[in-house]
Structure 1
């Protein structure tokens, strides 16, 4: 679960294979099921963070990637070309770096995500 800059609460629901975003009023703003990313396997969101641009970054463990959405749930891109095997932990620091825990190897990958 993560809260973005506009006050939305973003939750990854691995049981329902969806991301749910709820606004300040408690109403569901949107749901994201991974379809726009056109990945080979079913979407399986595990961890979620939001950045200073209110973008939503979701670790998709089935597809070994990170899916990035804008604050309105529109798919922006998939980060899948940096050896993410079982992304199962996710954190973003103030310097624009993503810290990704990898279930398969026990490693932590650091990805420079935002330019300062």
Structure 2
């Protein structure tokens, strides 16, 4: 269900999330990935009308040994085209599998 990037902003909210998930799955092979559309909470802000604010919770072994800034860079790099084409804001929660499992101990 991957869309051409030219029509990303005209895609449905569910299709946008599916597209973002596909990009992140390909780039970072996460063991867990959840993307929440936060656009409604940002109504009135620039870019909010088109559904472009997201919270990404991603768990990947590729984050091991990397500081938070480097982890976020990996996510931004994976979504670079989408960031240019209308994703206005990303809140990123990036964990290694070990860090993620420790949250529930």
Structure with the larger helix share:
2
- More contact order relative to length (CA 8 Å, sep ≥ 6): 2
TM-score tier (shorter):
0.3 to 0.5
For normalisation by structure 2, the TM-score amounts to 0.33
